[in-house]
């Protein structure tokens, strides 16, 4: 399966790391969010079994894609609201409100990130971490958030 920007960009930042083993997970929109959360819990459980190694989980995806009328998906007010909800969830260190968003709302906002966030939410259920919002931009028709989560 060809890699997309969501894989290439994070890997570019890791390019100088030696002896790095990478597994790319591409969650499907066809899989219910709660299944992605369960998968995240499984990943965390497996990682927690081997505390002798360092693991990094990168959830890479754009936020809402309907910020501008001139964009390929047009404009929808849901885009700004979706991004705001994600920002607040990161600030509050609680991703669970994102798992309760209505399907119609998500379809209108057109995010790429919700399924990766669901996996991250599952990991956070098992590994207590503190989130930190690093930046938020809307460079064109889509939103971009950069956040970090570190073990407490």
pLDDT tens for 43-102 read: 999 988 988 888 888 888 899 999 999 999 999 999 999 999 999 999 999 999 999 999
| CATH of the domain spanning 31-151, picked from 3.30.1390.10, 3.50.50.60, 3.40.830.10, 3.30.1490.190 | 3.40.830.10
pLDDT value for 85: 98
> Which one, of 62, 60, 48, lies nearest residue 14 by Cα?
60
pLDDT tens profile 101-136: 999 999 999 999 999 999 999 999 999 999 999 999
Q: What are the boundaries of each domain within the chain? A: 31-151
pLDDT of residue 16: 83
What is the token pair recorded at 40?
Answer: 């995240």
User: Are β-strands 129-137 and 144-151 bridged in parallel, bridged antiparallel, or unpaired?
Assistant: antiparallel
The rounded distance, in Å, linking the Cα atoms of 28 and 116 is 9
The answer on pLDDT for 1 being more than 80 is: no
**E-assigned strands of 9-72?**
none
* 19 backbone φψ class: left, alpha, beta (φ>0; ψ -120 to 50): left
How would residue 8 be classed by pLDDT, with cut points 50, 70 and 90? confident
Q: How confident is the model at residue 152 (pLDDT cuts 50, 70, 90)?
A: confident
* Contacts with 110 (C-beta within 8 Å, 6 or more apart), sequence order: 64, 65, 66, 73, 76, 79
């Amino acid at each position: 399966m060809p890699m997309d920007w969501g894989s290439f960009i994070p890997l570019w930042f890791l390019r100088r790391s030696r002896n790095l083993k990478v597994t790319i997970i591409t969650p499907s929109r066809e899989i219910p969010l709660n299944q992605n959360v369960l998968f995240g819990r499984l990943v965390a459980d497996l990682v927690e079994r081997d505390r002798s190694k360092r693991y990094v989980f990168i959830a890479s995806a754009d936020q809402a894609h309907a910020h501008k009328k001139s964009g390929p998906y047009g404009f929808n007010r849901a885009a700004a609201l979706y991004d705001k909800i994600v920002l607040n969830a990161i600030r509050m260190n609680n991703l669970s409100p994102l798992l309760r968003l209505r399907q119609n709302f998500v379809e209108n906002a057109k995010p790429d990130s919700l399924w990766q966030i669901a996996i991250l939410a599952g990991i956070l259920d098992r590994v207590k971490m503190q989130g930190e919002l690093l930046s938020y931009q809307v460079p064109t028709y889509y939103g971009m958030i950069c956040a970090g989560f570190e073990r407490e």
